[in-house]
Amino acid sequence: MHFTVKAHKYILLIAIVLASTISFSQNNKQKELETRRQELRNEIEQLNKLRADNKNKQKSQLSLVEGVNHKISVLSNLIKVTNQQANLLTREINSNQKKITDLRKELTDLKDDYAAMVVKAYKSKNKQSKIMFLLSSNNFKQAYKRLQYIQQYADHQKKQGENIKAKTLELQATNKKLLDQQKEKNSLITENRQVQKTLQEDRKEHEALMKSIQKNLSAYTAQIRQKEREVNRIDAEIKNIIRAAIAKSNTKAGKKSTSTGFALTPEEKVLASNFTSNKGKLPWPVDNGYVSLGYGSQRHPINKSLTIQSNGVRITTERGAKVRAVFNGKVMSVRRIKNANPLVMIQHGNYITVYKNLSKVYVKEGDIVKTKQFIGEVAVDVYSGETILSFIISKGVNTQNPASWIYKM
């Protein structure tokens, strides 16, 4: 019997701990989803603002498709996240509805017990007063026991009253929480319907653009390939600049110039270590914008038979956007490569960050820069009105995925 009671208490304790853990986990998940939803909404606002700013510009079909493609992707993600939030709220609502049912039953039982105690106490009072009850004791020990009983009974009555009050407040709080959750869920559903409507409109626009492009796909494919050749040419030149800087640092240190890594001074080693320790926490190179082309090998959004290789990311931003250094470092190079806008390369120990497609440059080779220091402005395409910064992170000549380094990219 003792083992059964003990086991029952142990199981009850586990159930309480599990319920608390699940509740805490759900709250955390809901907060994560809400944070992500707000990020996606902000990105859509930026997309709409950039589109409004450029509405009078005659964009190329390629640029339009890329923009619509990206917005469709963001809208789809927003719908997915909002649905996850609504589903999680549904589970919480169902859980709270069950809790309310259980609380009402507990409250009814407590009130019934309390009423029975009050009636019993009243009857006892009529039959015999507490003093007479004590005086009629056969001995002091019995009187003491009776006094204890009276006190325990009074304490029990008081405790029952406090339990009723606590359960009533808990029921009221749960009811309010349930109403708030239902209101929040309805708000999410309403918002999601509007987002789905916008998504349908953008998909129609995308289909119309693609039909237009398909009529002359070979010409557009030639444009894409030409654009990628120019990008690859510039990126190859950037690698040559880095190789030359590595060779120069090793020659200066009395090492072989054929080394694949920088010969770092103690200060540069510390800088490289600090850069590495800030992985995932580096600021964006512009205040506002979104990644319109990610890192790595990927299918082209228009011609799926084409594979493009991106050594960094392309960030679409606003007109007049200022570019800032993502970390402390030294300006390794300021170059204007043939048929391209100027670029700035900043060295952070054995890491290099590259900022391409600038209209203005505020720094010169050899300058020491600080995190978030402005180093130039992003160039604006005079024909399309697009303002796109190409951004690269490289360890030696090996490029890295900026999304792994920049905060929430």
pTM of structure: 0.69
β-strand pairing of 322-324 with 374-378: antiparallel
What per-residue confidence (pLDDT) applies to 105?
Answer: 83
For residues 375 and 364, give the distance between their C-alpha atoms in angstroms, rounded to a whole number: 9
Per DSSP, 334 falls in state E
Nearest-Å Rg of the Cα atoms of the chain is 35
Cα distance between residue 191 and residue 4, in whole Å: 53
CA neighbours within 13 Å on the CB side: how many for 389? 31
The counts of H helices and E strands in the chain are: 6, 13
Per-residue pLDDT of the chain (409 residues; tens, 9 = 90+): 444 545 555 555 565 555 555 556 777 888 898 888 898 888 888 888 777 766 555 566 677 777 888 889 899 999 999 999 989 888 888 888 888 888 788 778 777 776 776 666 666 554 455 565 555 667 777 767 766 766 676 666 677 767 778 878 887 888 888 888 889 899 999 999 999 999 999 999 888 888 888 888 888 888 888 888 999 999 999 999 999 999 999 998 888 877 789 999 999 999 999 999 999 999 999 998 889 889 999 888 777 888 889 999 999 998 899 999 999 999 999 999 888 899 999 999 999 999 999 999 999 999 999 999 999 999 988 767 789 999 999 999 999 999 999 998 8
Alpha-carbon distance values, 194 to 94, 151, 187, 201, 279 (Å): 26, 65, 11, 11, 37
Q: For the chain, list the domains and their CATH numbers.
A: 2-214 (1.10.287), 217-404 (2.70.70.10)
